Structure 1
Amino acid sequence: MAQSQQTIACAPIVEPRKKNTGGLIPWRESLAKQLILDRLSETVEVADLARACALSRSHFSRAFKCSTGLSPQDWIRQQRLARAKQLIQSTDMTLTQISLECGFCDQAHFCHIFTRSEGINPFAWRCRMVRSLTNLKPGSMPVCQG
């Protein structure tokens, strides 16, 4: 009896795999993400995304979060920040131009959201990126502009 209890105690516990239910079906998730990316520089309303997916706003929001792990607004914000980082690194656009291109209402809002996300303001982040790139290119001078 003691041996059978010991065997049971050593057996790995296998939990049944839960089916991921409640998320968007793939075509709806792709559609919503593509609409967001296509309109990143504009105001993106969750109600418009829900309507495009033929769902109520609340059902769409719950399903989107279930599928992506983020609310629609958080996913939009994440995409805007990713686009801003790409523009900061690859263009000489001002931070004001970048903020508007990425759908932020103004540079102050962009700087606030960027700093909250990255722990550093976008100007300092740009300077850090330029310095890291110039370390790869001998003789280059970093030029940091807002």
Structure 2
Amino acid sequence: MAYPQHTTARAPASEPRKTNTGGLSPQREKRVKQLILERLGDSLEVTELAQACALSRSHFSRAFKCSTGLSPQEWIRQQRVALAKQLIQYTDMSLTQISLECGFCDQAHFCHIFTRSEGINPFAWRCQFVRGTALNGKRSLPSPTPTDMHTTV
């Protein structure tokens, strides 16, 4: 029995990729990320972020996820964990102070989110970091500047 042979047309490799549509404009994305980073220690509502972009809450959430690959809440969590890691590494602040500085409601919530993100609790993470720096002969660490702590855009 003979089978019909199908051929498929393939686009040339040099053809430019189609950009995703439906995301935030670069200006809106930059504005909302800057707003989040400036207020990382505060309570942030998606409604506030949407208003800053002059969009409805649902449209903003979809557009943000399309632009970043993450929901606004998940992106904020990632930024808070990144800031917490820097504070753990470069300061002697307690985990309670760090949790509040990074915008978590309490230390238990901070520990839960950090452990879910990093696979290890923040105290153990700090111990690993201190042990690693002691083994490498590093005694004192420079204090980060505010811009260093907020450059994970």
Shared fold per TM-score greater than 0.5: yes
Instruction: Give the 5 Å matches for 1:38-117.
Output: 38-117=38-117
Q: CA RMSD of the aligned region, Å?
A: 1.9
Map Cα deviations across residues 47-79 of structure 1 (whole Å, 9 max, x no partner): 001001100000000000000000000000000
Aligned partner letter, 2:80: R
Aligned partner letter, 1:107: Q
Point out where structure 1 has 5 or more consecutive residues left out of the alignment: 141-146
Aligned to 1:133: 133
Q: CA deviation at 1:97?
A: 0.2
Could you say what secondary structure the match of 1:40 adopts?
A: coil
Q: CA deviation at 1:18?
A: 2.8
Find the aligned partners of 2:93 and 2:62 in 1 and give their Cα distance: 37
Aligned to 1:143: none
Q: CA deviation at 1:19?
A: 2.6
Query: Looking at both structures, which has the greater relative contact order when contacts are Cα pairs under 8 Å and sequence separation is at least 6?
Result: 2
Find the aligned partners of 2:27 and 2:97 in 1 and give their Cα distance: 33
Could you say what secondary structure the match of 2:54 adopts?
A: coil
- Who wins on radius of gyration, i.e. which is larger? 1
Question: Is the aligned partner of 1:14 residue 2:14?
Answer: no
Q: CA deviation at 1:14?
A: 3.3
Q: CA deviation at 1:136?
A: 1.1
Find the aligned partners of 1:118 and 1:42 in 2 and give their Cα distance: 22
Aligned partner letter, 1:58: S
Map Cα deviations across residues 24-62 of structure 1 (whole Å, 9 max, x no partner): 001100010001000000001110010011000000000
Find the aligned partners of 1:75 and 1:131 in 2 and give their Cα distance: 30
Aligned partner letter, 1:134: A
Could you say what secondary structure the match of 1:64 adopts?
A: helix
TM-score (norm 1): 0.84
Find the aligned partners of 1:95 and 1:126 in 2 and give their Cα distance: 10
Find the aligned partners of 2:56 and 2:116 in 1 and give their Cα distance: 31
Find the aligned partners of 1:86 and 1:14 in 2 and give their Cα distance: 46
TM-score (norm 2): 0.80
